[in-house]
Structure 1
Amino acid sequence: MIINPAANCISLLRIFLAIMMLFVKPLSGPFFIIFLACQITDVLDGYVARKTHTVSKLGDNLDSIGDFIMILVLIIVLYPVIKLTIRIIIWVFVIAMIKITSTAVVFIKYRTFEMLHTYGNKFTGFILFAFIISLAFVQSNMIMYIVCTIASISAIEELLINLFSSELQINRKSIFIK
């Protein structure tokens, strides 16, 4: 398989853009422009790699690193701005622990670091995107409860797939669809 420098450069651009969000005012115009660029590059890197038949382990890892950095930056930047209840903070921590456990299971079973590309994970990403865009208009704990519920279901599904699969299936669609 040929490594696609274009797709990997798009992934690296997303990592750079995510880090740039640390240096702009949260929920400002520049913040949302950078955030939208990050989301576009997140979709575009995989699309380019698939269309050019150059999907690679490096590209997959860059995408996962980009996802991790993006979430970490968003937590750092938005935590002081969003009024989170203790219940939501604990819930986000539990989701993070489930994701870390899932990653540890993959490493123990397959000696690699991977995150699954399930429909649940993709839907969680979309809901998180919509939530952050909604912050420009309204701040609601109800929206956070919805995001956390969807993220919890997705994280548990990924953990169960990793626990009970006999082989690593990074492109498995769901626990019900292989």
Structure 2
Amino acid sequence: MKSIANYISISRIFLSLLLALTEPLGIEFIVIYLICGISDALDGYIARKTNTTSTLGEKLDSVADLIMIVVLMILLYPIIKLTIGIVVWIIIIGLIRVLSIMVVYLKYKTVVILHTYGNKVTGLLLFIYPLSLAFSRSDVLMYIICLVASISALEELYIHLVSNELNSNKKWI
């Protein structure tokens, strides 16, 4: 029972890789994608409820999220047909995230992605986006995601720059 949350995160890593073998937006994709989303919500919830949160668990969760995002970007890029402006915006968000990770590493000699409300909202919007593609190809949600992700990335960078100690569970500024 002590590490069930970690096993859930590890299973999400394998499921995300399995997702790469499915037809984008096909039934297998949707089923595996939904299981990944549920497991993402469950691992942290179970860890908190069973008082088994750990640094390893936080890192596994972040790695699972990163792998899933990379797989989704590869699978969905041909479908989404992003504009140059959105691509540049996503690159800028990525650079801010990398800068934030570098600041944490230089200050604390570790790699951490905060579990802020902004990051959680960004994650939820990113989760909804592929499901919305089955119904609409609207770019509006992509602009909303980029805006929220930008604010979230800047908030995390600011927190790391001004804080004197590392708190990976800091919820907001």
State the TM-score, normalized to the length of structure 1.
Answer: 0.94
Q: 2:33 aligns with which of 32, 35, 43?
A: 35
Q: Tell me if structure 2 keeps the 8 A contact 1:120–1:154.
A: yes
Q: Give the gaps of 5 or more residues in structure 2.
A: none
Q: Tell me if structure 2 keeps the 8 A contact 1:4–1:55.
A: no
- Cα deviation for residue 122 of structure 1 reads 0.3
- Cα deviation for residue 67 of structure 1 reads 1.0
Cα displacement string for residues 41-96 of structure 1 (whole angstroms, at most 9, x for unaligned residues) = 11111111111111111111100111111111111111111111000111111111
Counterpart for residue 74 of structure 2: 76
Whether 1:155 aligns to 2:131 is: no
Q: Tell me if structure 1 keeps the 8 A contact 2:9–2:61.
A: yes
Counterpart for residue 62 of structure 2: 64
Q: Percent identity?
A: 53
Distance 1:45 1:134 in 2: 24
Amino acid at match of 1:138: S
Q: Tell me if structure 1 keeps the 8 A contact 2:15–2:32.
A: yes
Counterpart for residue 20 of structure 1: 18
State the TM-score, normalized to the length of structure 2.
Answer: 0.97
Q: How does 1:127-166 map to 2 (within 5 A)?
A: 127-166=125-164
- Cα deviation for residue 140 of structure 1 reads 1.4
- RMSD over aligned Cα atoms: 1.0
Counterpart for residue 111 of structure 2: 113
- Cα deviation for residue 102 of structure 1 reads 0.5
Distance 2:41 2:133 in 1: 22
Find runs of 4+ consecutive structure 1 residues off by over 2 angstroms. Answer: none
Q: Give the gaps of 5 or more residues in structure 1.
A: none
- Cα deviation for residue 5 of structure 1 reads 2.1
Amino acid at match of 1:81: I
Amino acid at match of 1:172: K
Q: Tell me if structure 1 keeps the 8 A contact 2:5–2:57.
A: yes
Distance 1:8 1:170 in 2: 17
How many residues of Structure 1 are paired with residues of Structure 2 in the alignment? 173
Give the secondary-structure state (helix, strand or coil) at the position aligned to 1:117: coil
Distance 1:4 1:119 in 2: 26
Q: Tell me if structure 1 keeps the 8 A contact 2:12–2:64.
A: yes
Distance 2:82 2:164 in 1: 39
